Amino acid sequence: MIDGVASGTMKGMSVIVGRDDQIGVVEALLDDACAGRGAALVVRGEAGIGKSTLLDHAVRAGRDRAMRLLTVTGVQAEVQIPYAGLDHLLRPLRPAPSDTGSPYRLAIEVLGILGESEAPVLLAIEDAHWLDAASWETLAFLCRRVEADRVALVIAVRDGEDIDRRLAAAGLPELRLEPLGPDDAETLLDRTVPRLTRALRARVLDEAAGNPLGIVELGAAAVRSGGSALLPSSLPLSTRVERTFGGLVADLPPLTRTVMLIAALDDGGDLDEILAAAALVTGAEVPPDAIQPAVTARLVLVDERYEVRFRHPLLRSAMRQQAAAGDRRRVHAALADVLAHDRQRRLWHRASAEPGPNESLAAELTEVAVRAAQRQAVATALAAVGRAAQLSGDRAERGRRQLWACDLAFEQGDALTLRRLIGEIDETALHPADRARLTWIRDGLAGGARTGPDRLLTYADHIDTMRREGQRDLAVKAMTEVCMGVYYASPPRAVRDRFVEVTLALDLDADDPARTVILSQVAPVEHGAVGLDRLRRFAPRMDLAPVQRVNLGFAAFAVGAFDLARLFALSSAADLRAQGRIGTLTQTLATAASAAAALGDTLAALPLAAECMALAEETRQPMWVLGGSLVAGLAEARRGDVAAARRRADDAERAIVAARRFPMLALVQRVRGVAALADGQAEDAFHQLSRVFDPADRAWFPDYRLLMFGDLAESAVRGGFLDELRSLVADLEPVAAQSRSPALLVGLAYARAALTGDYGAALADDLAEWPFDRARLRLTYGAWLRRSHRITDSRPPLRAAAAAFDAVGATPWADRARAELRATGETRRKPIDAMAALTPQEQQIARLAAEGLSNREIGERLFLSPRTVSTHLYRIYPKIHVSSRTELAHVITSSDVT
C-alpha cells in the first residue's frame, strides 16, 4: 500500500525509494538502543517529503528486532492540552500521566517505566510539531537523558518557524530529508502511477519537484482528472496536495464527511466518542458504518482498539482548513458535551467552541490555572492561563493574565515561551502597577537586565507604584526578584537608599522572610547584622516554602554567611528536585556551589557547579551558566587545577565585559587571585584580588569585599604586603562592626593574627563550619611557629591543616602544609584521592550511592534514568578500585576524613 510518501510496491513488499542512507541511520539508531546505548533522532523536512514512510520503516525494523513499540501522532486539536500527546504515547503502559510534576521530572519517571520493559523500546512520534508543549518538553528532556537506556526515539516533524525554535532549544540530533533526485522521482512515479502519458508524467515530476507525496498524489489526481488536476501551479505543493485530499473527501457521503471532520477536530481518536459527537451535530443517531466509506477510500484506518487514524497528516489539516468556522465551533461544542466526564478535555473544547471573548470562561480557565499552580502543575497552569488571556474581554485583565503566564514560564525555565509571551502583551492596556511588573519581567526575567543606576531607580519607582496602586503582594514579589540584580550591580549609595526606602514602605513584618531577603541583598552592610540574626532564626524552620529558602540562600550568601547559604540552598534543592522545577533549581544549585567553594570545599562545589551549568543550559539561562562556570573556576583553583580556572576566568571576563556588568568582574578576579595563590604566586594574587578593593578599578565591588577578604589577607601575608594589609584592616573594621558579616570577621581575625603574631583569639573562634579558613589559620600559625624555631609546637597545627586541606580537596594548600612539616623534620604522606579520578557527575553519583540511595532514588535526584545511574556506577567502581557499594562508601568516607 502506498502511504503517501517515498515508497512503492514490488511483489507485495513495501519498497522505499531513494532513502538508503537515511534508512541506515535509523537502523543504526535502533541497533544502538538494543545494545544499551539509547539515542534519539529528529527526522525533519517539508510536508510530504517522506518522514512518515521512514518512521513506518523504523517501526517495522523495531518490530523485527523484537522492540517494544510505542507510537503517537501529534494532533493539532490537542496542542493546548498539557500532556495529551504523552498520554496517548504511554497509554499501553500506564494510566494518563499525572500533571502534578514538571516535564523534566515526568521525563525521568517515563524513563523509569520504559526501563522496566524486558525488551528494548522504540518510541515513534509522528507530527511532533503538533504535540502540546508539555509533552514536547518532556520528550525532548527524555531524549537528552537516554544514555545507557535501551530506548530509541524517532521523531518526525514538519519544517516551520515554530519547530525551528523548538529544535534549536532542544539540541537534538536531526536527519533532514531532501527532495528525491530525478532518477528516484521517476522510479517512484513509475511504480505508483505507471499509466500516465509522457506529457502528464513530465508535468507531475516538474510540479512535484522531488516531493514523494506530491509525486504519488498528483500522479493519482492526473490519472483521475487529467492535467487540470495540476492547476494552479502557483500554489504551494502542500496546498495542492491538501486540495487533492479535499477532493477525495468531497466524494464521500455527507454523514461520512461530518464524522471525518469530527475526527479531525477531536483531541482523541475513539470511534464511539466521535460517533456520539456526530449524533449531537446531526441531531440523529449515527451508526458505526458511517466511517466505512472513508476507510474504503483509504483515507482513514480504524484499528483493533477502534481508534481512528488518518492516512496522512495533510488529510487531517485539509479537513480542518476547509471546514467553515461555524462548523468547527459546532463540532467542538458537541465534543465538549460528549466529554462531560473528562473535565479538562471538555474545558478545552468549550474554549475552542467559543466565538469571541468570554470573561466567564476566561475566569474558569484562570481558576484551573490557580489550582494547577498550587499543586506545582506548571505546564497545565501555563496552558490554562494562556487560553484565559485569549478569551479575556477586558484588555487590562488580559494583560494581567499574560503577566502571570510570564511568571509561570520563567519558573518552568522556558525562556522561549517567556519571550514570546512578553511580545504579545499590549503595554498600553496595562494598569500602572502591571506596567511596572512588565518592566522587570522584560529586563530581568527575560534575560539581561539593564542594571545601570538610572534603570535601577526606574525599577524602584515602578515597584513603589505597585505598592501605591494596592498591588502590595506583587510589589514584594518584584522586589524579591530584583534585589539580587541590585546586589550584583553594586549601585551608588543613593540607589541603595531608594530601594531600602521602598522596601520599608512595604511595611513587611520583621518575621517575613521577604524583608530579610531584600534588605540583606540591597544593603548587606547597613542591614547585614539584623539580617544575619533573622537568617539564623529562619534556618531551623520547616514551614518555609522552597522558593523562600532559595531566596534566603541568596541573602545568606550576600552577607557572607556561607554555612547558612549552603543550608538553605541544599534544603530547597531537595524539594525543587521532587517538584521538577529545574529553572529555580538551577539558581539554588548555584548558591550551594558558591557557598561550598567559598568555604573551600572543592569536593562538594564542583559537582554542584557542574549540575548547575548543565541545568542552566537545559533551561536556557545563560547568566547562570556563566555563574556556575565561575564557581567551578574558584573550586578548580582551590584544588590546584590552575589552567582550567584561568580559562574559565578569561571566558567569563569576555562575557561580563560584553554585557557591561563590570561589578561581576570581582568574581573573575577572585578566581584569578586564588589560582595565583594555588600556583605559589602570592604577589600576583595580591594584585589580582586588590582590584576588587580599589574604587578606581572597574572590578570594584565594595560589598563583595565582605566575601573574599580572607583570600586577599592570605595573599598579603604570603607576598609581604603587610603595610597594605594593615590599611585594609583599618578600613574594614567598621564595616565588620556594622555588618557582622561572618566571612569578613573570619578574614579579619586571620589578618590581625598574622599581623600581630597573636593567634590565640583567632584560634579560639568557632570555625567548625569554616574548615578551609581554620586550616589556613593553622597553616600560617604553624609556619610562624616554625620560623620562630618552636619546631615541636609547630607540628600539631601543621598536621591538622594538612589533614583539613586534604579533606576538602585543597591540594596546593595541603602540599604547603606538608612542606612546612618536612621543614620541621616530619614527613606526612600525601593521601591518594580516589575521587579525583571521577568526573563531577560521577562524584555526585558516587556520594549518593555511598549514602545508601538506590539507583532509582539517585536518578530522581539528578534527573537520570536508573539504568544510566547503574552504568555510571559500573564505570566508577574500577576507577576507584572498588567492587560494591559498601567498598564505595568506605573509600568516600575515608577520603572525606583524611
Least confident piece of the model among 91-95, 235-239, 292-296, 755-759 = 235-239
Domain boundary among 763, 792, 826: 763
Burial class for 284, CB neighbours closer than 10 Å (0-12, 13-18, 19+): exposed
What pLDDT score was predicted for residue 5?
Answer: 38
Q: Highest mean pLDDT range out of 212-226, 411-425, 769-783? A: 769-783
Residue 451: all three cell numbers together: 542594571
Calculate ∠ Cα 481-487-489, nearest 5°: 105
Q: Are residues 503 and 531 in the same domain?
A: no
Domain boundary among 353, 375, 397: 353
What pLDDT score was predicted for residue 7?
Answer: 37
Q: Are residues 60 and 133 in the same domain?
A: yes
Q: What is the spatial distance between Cα 55 and Cα 51, in angstroms, rounded to a whole number?
A: 6
Q: Are residues 485 and 553 in the same domain?
A: no
Structural contact between residues 134 and 86, judged by C-beta atoms closer than 8 angstroms: yes
Q: Which of helix, strand or coil describes residue 521?
A: helix
Looking up residue 164, the CATH number of its domain turns out to be 3.40.50.300
Structural contact between residues 794 and 816, judged by C-beta atoms closer than 8 angstroms: no
Positive or negative torsion for Cα 488, 493, 495, 501:
positive
Q: Which of helix, strand or coil describes residue 802?
A: helix
Q: Is the pLDDT of residue 415 over 80?
A: no
Q: Which of helix, strand or coil describes residue 51?
A: helix
Neighbours of 452 (CB within 10 A): 12
Q: What are the DSSP calls for 755-787, one per residue?
A: HHS--HHHHHS--TT-HHHHHHHHHHHHHHHHH
pLDDT higher at 573 or 225: 573
For 789, the enclosing helix (H) or strand (E) is none
Which residue type does 373 have? A
Q: Is the pLDDT of residue 12 over 60?
A: no
Mean pLDDT of the region 240-264: 82
Percent of the chain clearing pLDDT 70 (strictly above): 91
Who contacts 842 (Cβ-Cβ below 8 Å, separation ≥6)?
872, 875, 876, 879
Q: What is the spatial distance between Cα 674 and Cα 708, in angstroms, rounded to a whole number?
A: 10
pLDDT band at 805 (very low <50, low <70, confident <90, very high): very high
Q: Are residues 133 and 276 in the same domain?
A: no
Neighbours of 116 (CB within 10 A): 9
Least confident piece of the model among 36-50, 260-274, 405-419, 453-467 = 405-419
Q: What is the spatial distance between Cα 708 and Cα 701, in angstroms, rounded to a whole number?
A: 11
- 334 in any annotated domain: yes
Q: What is the spatial distance between Cα 380 and Cα 376, in angstroms, rounded to a whole number?
A: 9
pLDDT in tens, 469-506: 888 888 898 899 889 989 999 999 999 999 999 999 99
pLDDT in tens, 108-157: 888 888 888 889 999 999 988 888 888 888 899 899 888 889 999 999 99
What pLDDT score was predicted for residue 413?
Answer: 63
Q: Is the pLDDT of residue 896 over 60?
A: no
Q: What is the spatial distance between Cα 672 and Cα 689, in angstroms, rounded to a whole number?
A: 8
Region class of 585: left (phi > 0), else alpha (psi between -120 and 50), else beta: alpha
Q: Are residues 160 and 56 in the same domain?
A: yes
pLDDT band at 192 (very low <50, low <70, confident <90, very high): confident
Q: Are residues 471 and 529 in the same domain?
A: no
- 74 in any annotated domain: yes
Q: Is the pLDDT of residue 549 over 60?
A: yes
Q: What is the spatial distance between Cα 570 and Cα 605, in angstroms, rounded to a whole number?
A: 12
Mean pLDDT of the region 26-43: 94
Who contacts 80 (Cβ-Cβ below 8 Å, separation ≥6)?
132, 348, 351, 352, 383, 386, 387
Who contacts 887 (Cβ-Cβ below 8 Å, separation ≥6)?
none
- 91 in any annotated domain: yes
- 404 in any annotated domain: no
Domain boundary among 744, 763, 782: 763
Calculate ∠ Cα 578-584-586, nearest 5°: 95
Q: What are the DSSP calls for 393-405, one per residue?
A: SSHHHHHHHHHHH
What pLDDT score was predicted for residue 501?
Answer: 96
Give which of 112, 86, 114 is closest to 99, Cα–Cα: 86
What pLDDT score was predicted for residue 28?
Answer: 95
What pLDDT score was predicted for residue 8?
Answer: 36
Q: Is the pLDDT of residue 14 over 60?
A: no
What pLDDT score was predicted for residue 897?
Answer: 45
Structural contact between residues 765 and 759, judged by C-beta atoms closer than 8 angstroms: no
Q: Are residues 624 and 661 in the same domain?
A: yes
Q: Are residues 718 and 590 in the same domain?
A: yes
Q: What is the spatial distance between Cα 707 and Cα 559, in angstroms, rounded to a whole number?
A: 8
Positive or negative torsion for Cα 122, 127, 128, 133:
negative
- 254 in any annotated domain: yes
Q: Which of helix, strand or coil describes residue 158?
A: strand
pTM for this prediction = 0.77
pLDDT in tens, 155-174: 999 887 777 777 877 788 99
Q: Are residues 88 and 127 in the same domain?
A: yes
Structural contact between residues 105 and 580, judged by C-beta atoms closer than 8 angstroms: yes
Looking up residue 853, the CATH number of its domain turns out to be 1.10.10.10
Length of the chain: 898
Neighbours of 187 (CB within 10 A): 18
Who contacts 552 (Cβ-Cβ below 8 Å, separation ≥6)?
513, 516, 517, 535, 538, 544, 564, 568
Using alpha carbons, list the distances in angstroms from residue 215 to 187, 243, 412, 862. 10, 15, 44, 49
Q: Are residues 484 and 576 in the same domain?
A: no
pLDDT in tens, 599-619: 999 989 999 999 999 888 887
Domain extent at residue 685: 522-763
* 3-state secondary structure string across 371-393: HHHHCCCHHHHHHHHHHHHHHCC
Strand intervals (E) in 255-312: 300-302, 308-310
Question: What's the domain count of the chain?
Answer: 5
Structural contact between residues 840 and 610, judged by C-beta atoms closer than 8 angstroms: yes
Using alpha carbons, list the distances in angstroms from residue 273 to 84, 236, 268, 288, 855. 16, 35, 8, 11, 42
**Beta-strand relationship, 151-158 and 121-126:** parallel
Q: What is the spatial distance between Cα 568 and Cα 592, in angstroms, rounded to a whole number?
A: 8
pLDDT in tens, 336-384: 899 888 877 888 888 888 888 888 888 888 888 787 776 666 677 777 8
Who contacts 76 (Cβ-Cβ below 8 Å, separation ≥6)?
130, 316, 317, 320
What pLDDT score was predicted for residue 134?
Answer: 83
- 692 in any annotated domain: yes
Q: Are residues 535 and 484 in the same domain?
A: no
What pLDDT score was predicted for residue 424?
Answer: 86
Mean pLDDT of the residues in the chain: 86
For 209, the enclosing helix (H) or strand (E) is none
- 476 in any annotated domain: yes
pLDDT in tens, 697-729: 999 999 999 999 999 999 999 999 999 999 999
Q: Is the pLDDT of residue 100 over 60?
A: no
Q: Are residues 113 and 73 in the same domain?
A: yes
Neighbours of 641 (CB within 10 A): 22
- 719 in any annotated domain: yes
Q: Is the pLDDT of residue 255 over 80?
A: yes
What pLDDT score was predicted for residue 747?
Answer: 96
Q: Is the pLDDT of residue 13 over 50?
A: no
Structural contact between residues 208 and 215, judged by C-beta atoms closer than 8 angstroms: yes
Inter-residue long-range contacts of 488-494, CB under 8 Å, 24+ positions, other chains counted = 488/451, 488/661, 488/663, 488/664, 489/451, 489/452, 489/456, 489/661, 489/663, 490/663, 490/700, 490/701, 490/702, 490/703, 490/704, 491/451, 491/453, 491/456, 492/453, 494/453
Using alpha carbons, list the distances in angstroms from residue 36 to 28, 55, 144, 879, 895. 13, 21, 15, 21, 33
